[in-house]
Amino acid sequence: QVRLVESGGGLVQAEDSLRLTCVASGRRASNYDMAWYRQAPGKEREIVASIRFSFRGDIISYADSVKGRFTISRDSAKHTMYLQMSRLMPEDAAIYYCSVVVPSPVKSIYWGQGTQVTVSA
């Protein structure tokens, strides 16, 4: 069982920055694949960025829409994942969720409760 708690959302203006935080508890989530998703009103949930565990070092990927503006990272010692968002645009407004995939005993995905990001033009 893993519990995820996001924070850091808020109301900002276009071109502003925000840093989202996701704190994991229950299992060593930092050794698993984690990701940030977002869901805007009337739209499907979409992946924003992911960080996949590898013994050679985490593998990071981004949605095309956020490349160069968002940075995903994690601090294993603090069981925390971050999403640094820069140059925010109104289309980035959504509820942002963090997730973790736990591979055993049965592959399961856990979600946080989400944090709202609102961007005014």
User: pLDDT at position 76, please?
Assistant: 87
Mean per-residue pLDDT over the chain, rounded? 94
pLDDT value at residue 105: 85
- Please tell me the distance from the alpha carbon of residue 63 to that of residue 66, in angstroms, as a whole number: 6
Q: Which residue reads 């499907």 in tokens?
A: 44
CB neighbour list of residue 20: distance below 8 Å, 6 or more residues apart: 6, 7, 8, 9, 36, 82, 83, 85, 96, 98, 115, 117
Whether the predicted pLDDT of 111 surpasses 80: yes
Model confidence pLDDT, tens digit, residues 19-63: 999 999 877 776 899 999 999 999 999 999 999 988 899 999 999
